[in-house]
Amino acid sequence: MPYRLGEVIISRETIARRVKEMAAKIAEDNGRDKGITFVGILTGAAFFLTDLAREMPEDLDVRVDFMSVASYGDGTKSSGVVRIFHDLKSSIEGKNVVVVEDIVDSGLTLSHLLGILQNRNPASLKVCVLLDKYERRKTEVNVDYCGFRIPDKFVVGYGLDCAGMWRHLKDIKYVIEE
C-alpha cells in the first residue's frame, strides 16, 4: 500500500470538546425562531454531523438531511463543478440552513454547492466545517463555523478518507505517502 497512517493531529477528546462548543454556538445563533436544518454532505460529514446534531438542545427544532455530491476533476483536484448524486429529501425554502462539510480545501465544491442551495430560497444559509485547509483556498467561501484550521497536509479519520480508507478512525491522523 503506498500510504500509511501517521501521527494523530486531532484527538477524539479534542474533537468531542470542539463539537460541543460548535453546537452551542450554532444553537445560540440560529435556533429559536425557525429552527435549524442541517444539510450534511456525504460521505465524510456524516460522522461529524451525527455528533453535532446530538449536541443540540432538545427543545430546538433540528432537522437533518443529506446530499451526496461529486465534483468533476482529474481525480486529485476538484474542478468546482458539482454533480448531485443524491438530493435532499425535503425543501429548504424559508429554512435556516447550516451546510455541514468535513473539510474545506480549495473551496470550489462548497462554493458551487452553496450557489445551488441559495437558489432554493432558504431563510438563511450558513456553513459549518470541521476542518479548514485555509492555505489551499482558490475561491472565497464564507465559513461561519470552523472546528479547526489545519496545515496543507492530507488527513484521515472521523469521516475523512484516503481512497475510501480510514473514515472509521476515531482520531484525525496524518497520512504518510511511502
- Given 65, 105, 152, 171, which residue is catalytic? 105
Q: From 83, 148, 147, 76, select the one nearest 109 (Cα to Cα).
A: 83
> In this structure, which amino acid lies at residue 11?
S
Give the C-alpha separation, 95 to 88, whole Å: 13
Residue located via cell numbers 474533537: 15
Cα separation of 34 and 95, whole Å?
6
Taking the complex as a whole, the smallest distance from the CB of residue 57 to ligand IMP amounts, in Å, to 28
Q: Does 154 bind ligand IMP (CB under 6 A)?
A: yes
Q: Which residues pair with residue 163 across a beta bridge?
A: none
According to the binding rule CB under 6 A, does residue 103 interact with ligand IMP?
yes
What residues pair up with 4 in beta bridges, in sequence order?
A: 176
Q: Is 67 in the site for ligand IMP (CB under 6 A)?
A: no
Does residue 173 bind ligand IMP (CB under 6 A)?
Answer: no
List the one residue from 56, 105, 128, 145 that touches ligand IMP (CB under 6 A).
105
Mind telling me the catalytic residues? 105
Q: Which residues bind ligand IMP (CB under 6 A)?
A: 44, 71, 78, 101-110, 133, 154-156, 160-161
